[in-house]
Amino acid sequence: MNSILWIELVVGIIVSFTLLGIFIWGVKQGQFDDGKKMMNGLLNDSTEDLQDAVKKDEKVKDLREKKREKLQKKD
Amino acid sequence: MSLIACSHCHLEFDESLMINEPENKNLHFCCNGCQGVYHLLKDDGLDSFYEKVGKNKLAKPLAVGSDSSNFDMESFTTRYIKKTDEGFSRVDLIIEGIHCAACIWLNEKVLDQTAGIVEVNINFTNNKAKIIWDEDVIKLSQIIDKIRSIGYNAYPYDRTESEKKATKNKKDFFLRMSIAIFASMNIMMIDVAKYTGYFTGIDDEMLRIIHMAEFIFATPVLFYSGWIFFRGAYYGLKNKIINMDFLVSFGATLSYIYSLYVLFGGAGDSYFDSVAMIITFVLVGKYLEVLGKKSAVDTMDKIKSQIPLEATIIKNGGKKVVSLDEIKVDDIIEVKTGEKASVDGEVVSGFSSFDESSISGESLPVSKTTGDKIYSGTINTQAVIRYKAVKNYANSTLNNIVELLEDSLNSKPKIEDTTNEISKYFSIIILTLSLATFIAWYLYVGGFENSLIVAISVIIIACPCALALATPIASLIGISWLSQEGLLFKEAKFLETFAKIDAIVFDKTGTLTTGKLTVKKVPLSLTKKELNILYSLADSSTHPVSVAIKNYLEECFENLDIITLEEIEQLPSMGLQARYNNNVIFGGRLENNVEYQTTIYHFTINDKLLATFELEDKLREDAKSTVEYFKKQNIKTILCSGDNEQAVSSVAKEVGVDHYNAKMSPIAKADYIQSLKDSKKSVVMVGDGINDSLALSRANISIAMGNGADISIAISDIVILNDKLEGIKKSHYISQRTFKFIKQNLMISTVYNVLTIPIAMAGYIIPLVAALSMSLSSLLVVGNSLRIKNRKIDE
C-alpha cells in the first residue's frame, strides 16, 4: 500500500513539475507580461483567429526571406 | 425621447440625434466617425469585433486632424526608430483610445493584415505597442494612418532603461510568486490528508510520505521565491535594521530546518506548510508594490509622449523644422493652429488664443497678441502665430514640469505602514524570548536538542500568520466596499494614509466647480429673428463661451433656426463679429465694460446692445457638504487654483474652506504641498487637470476626479469614478473604518501571541495544538474583518 503511495508521489511530482516547467517557459517567453490581455485571451480563441495566425506566420516568413535575400545581394 | 445605442461605440443617445442608414434600419450611429469605422471593419471582414466587444461601451473614434507625415521625418526616425538584427524597423508607441480587449484585438488584427508588418504586440495593461515592420514595403506614417482610420491614435515614446528594468523586475517577481502559489496550493491539498490523519489516526510511514511531498514543494518556495526576503534581511542587517524581511526569512528558515530534522529521523510534526504559506502571503503583497512601481514608469512614458517632437523656426526668411534641443534663445518660432508651443517665449506677430489648461487648469482659451507670454505645452487654438524664444527647451515650463514629475514619481512619499512598524518590535521580542527559552531550558532542564526544539517552537507558534493577515484581509474588504461605491483605490496601503490625513487641498475648476460655463438666468427681450441671429453667431464658434450661449438658448427656446451669416471674424480679446443683411452683428465682451469680474457676453446689432449674459462656472452640488465634512473631522481644508484672486476668493467663501491661494502655477501648487508636508502634515490633493499633476504627485495621497485628464488619473492614488465630490467623503469614512479594524486585528494577533508563546516556552506545544491555534488566530482576524461592512455610510 505504502509503496504504491511512494510511486504516486514520484509520478505526481514529476507531472506537476513538468507543468510548472511549461508555465515558467511561458513566463520567460513573455506570454504573461500583460495581465489584462492574458485574462481576455479566450476572446481570440476561434477557428477564424487560428487561421489568421497561420496566414500571419506565412506572411512574416515571406517578409523575412525577402529581407535576407536583399541583405545578401547588398553584401 | 428614447435613448438608443450607437451600433459602433454602444454609447446611448437620443433617437432624434442618430444617423440612420436607409439600407439597414437596425443600424444607428452617433457620429460620422462611428459610421465610418463600422463600414471599414465590415468591408475588411473584421465585423467579429462587435461580438468580442459584447455590451462594452467604447470611446468615440478619435478625430485626429494632424498630418502623419512627421512620423517619416529624419528627426523622428533618429529618435524613435530602431533597427532589429534582421534589418527590420521597430518603434514603440502608446495607443490612445484603447477601451477593452476587443480594441486590442482589432488594432492587432488590422495591422497584422497590413502588408509589410512583421510583428505587432499591444499591451492591454499600459496600452503600449511594439511594432516591427519592413520599411521597403510600408512607411510608418501609413501604419499610423491605418491605426487612425479605425478610430484610435498613436504616439511614439522612448523605451527607457528604467522601463526595461521595471519590466524585468516585474517578470522576476511574477515568476517567484507563481511558483510560491503553485507549491502552496499543492501543500494545502496534502495538508488536508495530514490534518484529517490527526483525528482519524495515521501511521508513521504515511506521515513520512506526506512530509516528503511537502518538503519537495516547500524547498523551491523558501530558496527561490523567498530569496528576496533573504536579500532584504541581509541589506537590513547591513544597515543595522531588523525588518519584516528578517522576521519572515528567519522564521521560515528555522521552521524549515526543524521540519527537516523531523523528516529525517526526529519525532514530531513538520512545518513545511507554514514555510510555504508565510513566504507566499508576504510575496503577494510585495508583488503589488512592484506593479505600482511599473505603473509609475508607464505614466511617465505617457506624459513624455505628449511633448512636441519638433518646432518650426523662421531663419533667414525661410522656415526650418528643428528638434526641440536645437532651439536657441531669440529664435523666432511659428506655431500653427492645433500645435503645442515647444519653448517659453513672447509673441512677436499675429493674434491667437491659447489653451493654457495645462498650466492654469482653466478651460477658457487665453488671447495672445504681440508682447504676450507663451508657455511651452500650451496649445494654439485659433490662428498661426510667431513668437520669440526667451528660454531654451531644457529651461522651459513644460520640461521643468516633466522633470519634477519624474523626480516625485520616483520618490513617492513614504506610506505609513503600521504592520511593518509593529513587526520590527515583534521580531526583536520573539527572538529574545526564543533565546531566553533556549538558555532557560538548557540550564534548568538540560539536553541541547530538546532545548533547541522548544526554542524553535516559540518562533513557530509566533509565526506572523495572523500578523501578516491583519492588514491585507481588512484592506481587501475595505477596497471591495470602496469599489462598489465607485471609488478606486490603486493600492490598499492608501487606506491607512488617507485615514490619518491632516490637510486636504482642493483644486477649483473641475473639482469644486463643474468646470463648465453656464449662463445665469437672464430676462431676454429679443425678437425671434434676433434670437436666430444670436443662435447662429454662437453656433459658428467652438469657444466655450459661445458653446455655453448656444446651449442656453437651446434650453430656453424651441425651434431655433440657423441663419447664414457672412464675414464671420474673430476679434482679438473680444469675440465674434459677422454681417447679416448689411447689419453688423457682434457677440462677445465689449472692451469698455471692464467692471464685470465674471465672464460677460454682450450681443449687439449695429452697435446697439440687445442682451447681456453673465456666465459662471457653477459649484458642484456636494462641494459645500464635502468641505464641511472634512472641517468637522478637524482636517484643514485649502483651495489652490491658477485662476484670479476674485474668482478663487468667491468660491472659497461660498464653500467655506479654511484657506485659499489664487494665481498658482503648477510648480507653485506643488511647492505649497511640499511646504505643508515639511510642516509635518499629511496632505491629500484633489484635482482633475494636467496642471494639478505635479501637485498630485507630491501629496501623500492624491485623488483625481473620474472625468479629469488622463495624466492626473494615471498619477493619482484614488480615482472617484462617478465624478461626485461626495466620493471623497465616502473614501475617507471607509478608510477610517477599515483602519480601525486593521488596528483591532493587530490587537487580536498580539493577544494570541501573548497567550500562546508562554505555553510554547513551557514546552507544552504539541503539533495538534500548534495547527489548531494557528488556524484559529487567522480565523479570528478574518471574522473580525468581515464586520467592516456592517455599518452603512449614512449612519
Separation in Å, CA of A63 to nearest CA in chain B? 7
Q: What is the mean pLDDT of residues B156-168?
A: 76
Tell me the percentage of chain B whose pLDDT exceeds 90: 12
Query: Which of B48, B101, B212 lies at the smallest CB-CB distance from A48?
Result: B48
Nearest CA in chain B to A46: B48
**Do B136 and A16 count as a contact with CB atoms less than 8 A apart?**
no
Answer for the pair B210, B190: CB distance below 8 angstroms, yes or no: yes
Contacts of A23 in chain B (CB under 8 A): 178, 182
Residues 117-136 of B with CB under 8 A from A: 118-119, 122-125, 134, 136
Average pLDDT of chain B is 81
Please, which residues have CB within 8 angstroms of residue B752's CB and are 6 or more apart in sequence? B466, B773, B776, B777, B780
**CA pair distance B133, B141, nearest whole angstrom:** 12
* B537: nearest Cα among B581, B582, B588: B588
**Tell me: the pLDDT tens digits for B115-131?**
889 988 888 877 888 89
**CA pair distance B581, B464, nearest whole angstrom:** 85
Lowest mean pLDDT: which of B2-6, B164-168, B769-773?
Answer: B769-773
pLDDT at B511 over 80: yes
B715 touches A at CB < 8 Å: no
Per DSSP, chain A holds a count of helices (H) and strands (E) of: 3, 0
Check residues B208 and B709 and name the one with the higher pLDDT: B208
Q: What is the pLDDT of residue B439?
A: 93
pLDDT at B288 over 80: no
Separation in Å, CA of A65 to nearest CA in chain B? 10
Nearest CA in chain A to B291: A35
pLDDT at B773 over 70: no
pLDDT at B795 over 60: no
Per DSSP, B323 falls in state E
The three grid cell numbers given for residue B114, joined into one nine-digit string? 497590413
Check residues B793 and B64 and name the one with the higher pLDDT: B793
Cα distances from B423 to residues B236, B417, B566, B748, in angstroms, run 14, 10, 76, 14
Q: What is the pLDDT of residue B282?
A: 73
In which element (H, E) is residue B661 found?
strand B659-661
**Do A33 and B123 count as a contact with CB atoms less than 8 A apart?**
yes
Mutant choice from A67, A71, A73 vs B, greatest count of B C-beta within 10 A:
A67
Please, which residues have CB within 8 angstroms of residue B127's CB and are 6 or more apart in sequence? B94, B95, B96, B98
**Do B167 and A70 count as a contact with CB atoms less than 8 A apart?**
no
Quote the ipTM score: 0.76
Q: What is the mean pLDDT of residues B146-158?
A: 82
Q: Find the angle CA(B141)-CA(B146)-CA(B150) to the nearest 5 degrees.
A: 145
Check residues B30 and B504 and name the one with the higher pLDDT: B504
pLDDT at B411 over 60: no
**Tell me: the pLDDT tens digits for B362-380?**
767 788 888 888 888 888 8
**CA pair distance B605, B625, nearest whole angstrom:** 44
Q: What is the pLDDT of residue B761?
A: 85
Contacts of A6 in chain B (CB under 8 A): 209
Radius of gyration of chain B measured on its C-alpha atoms: 32
pLDDT at B592 over 60: no
DSSP B461-520: HT-THHHHHHHHHHHHHHHHHHHHTTEEESSTTHHHHHHT-SEEEEEIIIIIEEEEEEEP
How is chain A split into domains, by residue range? 1-43, 45-75
Q: What is the pLDDT of residue A68?
A: 86
**CA pair distance B157, B126, nearest whole angstrom:** 13
Lowest mean pLDDT: which of B142-151, B465-474, B494-503?
Answer: B465-474
Answer for the pair B79, B160: CB distance below 8 angstroms, yes or no: no
Q: What is the pLDDT of residue B593?
A: 45
Contacts of A37 in chain B (CB under 8 A): 101, 104, 122-125
**Tell me: the pLDDT tens digits for B656-712?**
999 999 888 888 888 999 999 899 888 999 988 777 888 888 888 889 887 766 667
Q: What is the mean pLDDT of residues B341-364?
A: 81
Residue the block writes with cell 523605451: B159
Q: What is the pLDDT of residue B595?
A: 41
pLDDT at B635 over 90: yes
Strand pairing partners for B583?
A: B580
Check residues B526 and B180 and name the one with the higher pLDDT: B180
Please, which residues have CB within 8 angstroms of residue B205's CB and are 6 or more apart in sequence? A2
pLDDT at B407 over 90: no
* B351: nearest Cα among B566, B587, B585, B570: B570
Check residues B184 and B430 and name the one with the higher pLDDT: B184
pLDDT at B192 over 80: yes
**CA pair distance B544, B211, nearest whole angstrom:** 73
The three grid cell numbers given for residue B632, joined into one nine-digit string? 468637522
Answer for the pair B375, B359: CB distance below 8 angstroms, yes or no: yes
Please, which residues have CB within 8 angstroms of residue B311's CB and are 6 or more apart in sequence? B321, B322, B324, B327, B333, B335, B342, B343
Query: Which of A6, A34, A43 lies at the smallest CB-CB distance from B102?
Result: A43
Answer for the pair B443, B414: CB distance below 8 angstroms, yes or no: no
Q: What is the mean pLDDT of residues B66-94?
A: 81
Q: What is the pLDDT of residue B216?
A: 93
Separation in Å, CA of A43 to nearest CA in chain B? 6
Residue B581, sorted as left (phi over 0), alpha (psi -120 to 50) or beta, turns out to be left
Q: What is the mean pLDDT of residues B73-88?
A: 82
B368 touches A at CB < 8 Å: no
Position B732 confidence tier, pLDDT thresholds 50, 70, 90: very high
Position B594 confidence tier, pLDDT thresholds 50, 70, 90: very low
Mean pLDDT highest for which of A20-29, B150-159, B537-546, B715-724? A20-29
Lowest mean pLDDT: which of A10-24, B95-109, B185-199?
Answer: B95-109
Query: Which of B125, B167, B182 lies at the smallest CB-CB distance from A20?
Result: B182
Nearest CA in chain A to B190: A9
Q: What is the mean pLDDT of residues B2-31?
A: 79
Q: What is the mean pLDDT of residues B133-146?
A: 89
Contacts of B205 in chain A (CB under 8 A): 2
Separation in Å, CA of B237 to nearest CA in chain A? 32
pLDDT at B296 over 70: no
**Tell me: the pLDDT tens digits for A2-56?**
788 888 888 988 998 899 899 999 988 888 887 777 777 766 677 877 888 888 8
**Tell me: the pLDDT tens digits for B431-482?**
888 899 999 999 988 777 778 778 877 876 776 556 666 776 787 788 878 8
Whole-structure pTM value? 0.64
Check residues B138 and B282 and name the one with the higher pLDDT: B138
